[in-house]
């Protein structure tokens, strides 16, 4: 009798175990979009304040790379620009004497015109003054053109230096390590005091507030899902129990693929499956790589 009850108990457990495989419609693993933050400058890490597991905000200052040489180069460029611009002539001052000479000649012209009108001076005297006035005006125009050309040449000389200065300022900005996204530091690849280089990874970060469960479904299940649909996600809670979480289908693949070896679907014999992504709000217990089960209804 004892053997009979024992056999029944084992058979019941086996049946329940087999049924549990079909409780869920799909399964998959949680993932997140990970971003590797790399150095944008060469030099020594003078400050690098971050640690694995730290939550950081977008735009947060993390540290900086030694920028002394760049700063000195920038100051040198400022001095070069000043040295070039100091040679630029003051056009107004340079032509002031010629303008005064023209003004005096115009005053002389007015007096001569009065004398000629009163028959107190010959007309040729007025003609000579007019000719001399034309010469002075042409000389003024020539001086203005010459000085203007000189100023433009000096300005053109300073432009390459200005562009180089802007390049240095951009490099100085890149010496600052600014965190680009809000998330949690997953790994740290460098330490303060080390020498880094452009493109060398510093740390890896991901937004863990919402994780994505990548699961696979069969062709027959496609009619049960759509983007934006609310579904139930289950994670192993220990002692053969599951913790239920709400999820939203964010993406459904439009192409079939062969069943991944690490994924079990509702129909294990199906050769082709469709990938889906489900956004699940993380309550702190979800981890990247953790398995999750999916139930549509």
pLDDT in tens, the chain (297 residues): 434 333 433 333 333 344 444 578 999 999 999 999 999 999 999 999 999 999 999 999 999 999 999 999 999 988 888 888 777 777 777 778 878 888 888 888 888 778 778 777 787 887 888 888 888 888 888 888 887 878 787 777 778 888 898 999 999 999 999 999 999 999 999 999 999 999 999 999 999 999 999 999 988 898 889 999 999 999 998 778 899 999 999 999 988 888 776 655 555 545 788 999 999 999 888 999 999 999 987
Residues 53 and 188 in one domain: yes
Does a structural domain hold residue 112?
yes
E-state strands within 128-209: 176-178, 183-188, 195-196, 201-206
143 and 116 belong to one structural domain:
yes
Instruction: Decide if 96 is inside a domain.
Output: yes
What is the pLDDT, as a whole number, of residue 270? Answer: 52
Cα 295 from Cα 25, distance rounded (Å): 5
Question: Is residue 4 a part of any domain in this protein?
Answer: no
β-pairing, 26-31 vs 291-295, is antiparallel
The CATH number assigned to the domain holding 239 equals 2.40.30.170
* Residue at 17 is within a domain: no
Residues 84 and 159 in one domain: yes
- Is 256 part of any domain? yes
250 with 269, same domain: the answer is yes
Claim to verify: residue 73 and residue 160 sit in the same structural domain: yes
The answer on 271 and 146 residing in a single domain is no
- Grouping H, G, I as helix, E, B as strand and the rest as coil, residue 256 is coil
Of 118, 152, 174, the domain-final residue: 174
Regarding whether 196 and 115 lie in a shared domain, the answer is no
Name the residue range of residue 185's domain: 35-66+175-206
CA distances 33 to 204, 263, 294, Å, are 10, 20, 21
Q: Clarify whether residues 214 and 263 are in a common domain.
A: yes
Instruction: Give me the pLDDT at residue 11, please.
Output: 38
Q: Quote the tokens at residue 240.
A: 């053969």
What pLDDT sits at residue 261?
63
Number of domains, the chain: 3
Number of other residues whose CB lies within 10 A of the CB of residue 251: 13
Q: CATH number of the domain that 200 lies in?
A: 2.40.50.100
pLDDT for the residue 262: 60
Question: How far are the Cα atoms of 106, 108, 113, 123, 129 from residue 119, in angstroms, in the given order?
Answer: 20, 16, 10, 9, 17
Taking every pair of C-alpha atoms in the chain, what is the biggest distance, in angstroms?
157
Residue 151 within a domain: yes
Domain co-membership, 51 together with 181: yes
Co-location of 59 and 110 in the same domain: no
Asked whether residue 52 is domain-assigned, the answer is yes
Do 239 and 283 reside in the same domain of the chain?
yes
Q: Within this chain, do residues 202 and 229 fall inside the same structural domain, yes or no?
A: no
Residue 274 domain-assigned?
A: yes
């Amino acid at each position: 009798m004892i053997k009979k009850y024992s056999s029944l108990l084992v058979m019941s457990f086996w049946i329940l175990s087999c049924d549990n495989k079909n409780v869920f419609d799909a399964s998959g693993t949680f993932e997140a979009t990970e971003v590797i933050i790399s150095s944008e400058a060469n030099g020594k890490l003078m400050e690098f304040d971050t640690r694995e597991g730290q939550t950081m905000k977008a735009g947060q200052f993390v540290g900086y790379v030694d920028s002394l040489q760049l700063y000195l180069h920038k100051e040198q460029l400022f001095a070069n620009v000043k040295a070039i611009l100091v040679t630029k002539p003051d056009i107004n001052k340079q032509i002031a004497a010629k303008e005064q000479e023209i003004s005096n000649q115009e005053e002389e012209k007015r007096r001569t015109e009065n004398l000629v009108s009163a028959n107190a001076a010959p007309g040729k005297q007025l003609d000579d003054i007019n000719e001399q006035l034309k010469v002075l005006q042409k000389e003024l125009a020539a001086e203005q053109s010459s000085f203007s050309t000189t100023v433009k040449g000096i300005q053109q000389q300073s432009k390459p230096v200005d562009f180089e200065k802007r390049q240095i300022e951009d490099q100085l900005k890149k010496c600052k390590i600014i965190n680009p996204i809000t998330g949690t530091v997953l790994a740290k690849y460098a330490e303060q005091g080390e020498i880094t280089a452009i493109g060398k990874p510093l740390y890896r970060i991901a937004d863990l507030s919402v994780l994505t469960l990548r699961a696979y479904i069969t062709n027959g299940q496609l009619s049960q899902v759509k983007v934006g649909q609310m579904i139930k996600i289950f994670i192993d809670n220990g002692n053969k129990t599951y913790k239920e979480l709400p999820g939203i289908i964010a993406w459904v693949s439009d192409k079939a693929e062969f069943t991944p070896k690490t994924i079990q679907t509702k129909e294990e014999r199906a050769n082709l499956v469709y990938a889906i992504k489900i956004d699940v709000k993380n309550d702190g217990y979800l981890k990247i790589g953790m398995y999750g089960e999916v139930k549509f209804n």
